[in-house]
Amino acid sequence: MPRASQRPRLVDVAEHAAVSLATASRALAGREGVSAEVADRIRQIASDLGYVANPYARTLASGATSTVGLIVHQVDDPYFSEIAAGVIQLAADQGLLVQICQSGRDPGYELQQLRHLIAQRVGIVLISGSGFDDPRMESAARAELAAFQDHGGRAAAIGRHTLGIDAVLPDNEAGGHALAHHLMDLGHRRIAVAAGSVGLTTVADRLAGVSSALRQRGRSPADLAVVHTDFTRDGGQAAAEQILNEHPETTAIIALNDVMAMGVLSTLRSRRVPVPARMSVVGFDDVSVAADLAPSLTTIRLPMTEMGRTALTLALK
């Protein structure tokens, strides 16, 4: 053990972990090339030794860069590209650069991207996209962000409940509630949901809104045909196929985001199901490309660009 008067060094961590300096450095910086088990062991040893020359301390020592790190679920999803546009607009006004990473809705990879951004000495971290309904899946990211902020970093989120940082939270439950009421007002009684991945809080919240609307109208949510697939255009196509095959009596489909709605419409076209004469389709988000769909898509409007600007504003404050 290093002497009590001595600040632990990276070499001390490496020696106690029986690894090379390079391996210890990569593990503590969250870089690739070290197995998860070894990296966890090295980080635990560093913590036990009181080692502080980690990415956060390096940020303080050398000064955080004028870079904003933005993590989104999927860069080619218009929802996230419009949020990114808002972040980039405000960042440009503030003389900041934006580095964008994609998590693929994988909490492990999201954590890796977060650690990578911090190791790159970004001054601000923004995380956009649904969280996970199991808090354990975000506990490591929450701890990383807490340490980042404790050492002077700034952070904010969009659509996340449990990261322990300032967040912009769209009212997903109210949106789902409004969509279900809209379809029932049109006379639909056989409604299906293209719901996106199980375990995402956004999916759970929007579904909760749909269910509450059904209960208000004296109907049971158990009568709702809910199909979980990927929260993507391909997922929407797959969900529509399953709905048509397993629930042929369906007259309306709620897609829980617009890219899924686009996939639903694609499948309905290929199956020659007329919209809206035979099947009504509604979406959620109101991404800009939705205005060009034919037939037009009824959708819940979220101000994505403004959400991006607001998240960066929260971090800057």
Report the chain's C-alpha Rg in angstroms: 23
Q: Which residue has the higher pLDDT, 30 or 52?
A: 30
The answer to whether 10-53 and 172-301 have equal CATH topology is: no
68: which strand partners? 98, 124
Q: In the CATH scheme, what architecture does the domain 172-301 have?
A: 3-Layer(aba) Sandwich (3.40)
Quick: pLDDT tens for 9-24: 888 899 999 998 888 8
Region class of 33: left (phi > 0), else alpha (psi between -120 and 50), else beta: left
Q: Which of 161, 196, 222, 156 is nearest to 284 (CA)?
A: 196
Per-domain boundaries in the chain: 10-53, 64-170+305-316, 172-301
Q: How confident is the model at residue 8 (pLDDT cuts 50, 70, 90)?
A: confident
pLDDT at 55 over 80: no
pLDDT for 275 equals 95
Quick: pLDDT tens for 254-301: 999 999 999 999 999 999 999 999 999 999 999 988 888 878 899 999
pLDDT at 41 over 60: yes
Of how many residues is the chain composed? 317
Q: How confident is the model at residue 5 (pLDDT cuts 50, 70, 90)?
A: very low
CATH fit for domain 10-53, picks 3.40.50.720, 1.10.1740.10, 3.30.1390.20, 1.10.260.40 = 1.10.260.40
- DSSP letter for 7, please: P
**Coil, strand, or helix at residue 164?**
coil
Q: How confident is the model at residue 52 (pLDDT cuts 50, 70, 90)?
A: low
Q: In the CATH scheme, what architecture does the domain 64-170+305-316 have?
A: 3-Layer(aba) Sandwich (3.40)
Helices (H), the chain: 10-17, 21-29, 36-49, 55-62, 78-93, 107-119, 139-150, 172-185, 201-216, 233-246, 258-270, 304-316
| Exposure b/e, 175-196, CB count within 10 A at least 16 = b | bbbbbbbbbbeeebeebbbbbb
pLDDT for 150 equals 86
Instruction: Using alpha carbons only, give the angle 180, 72, 90 rounded to the nearest 5 degrees.
Output: 100
Q: Whole-prediction pTM value?
A: 0.78
Q: How confident is the model at residue 58 (pLDDT cuts 50, 70, 90)?
A: low
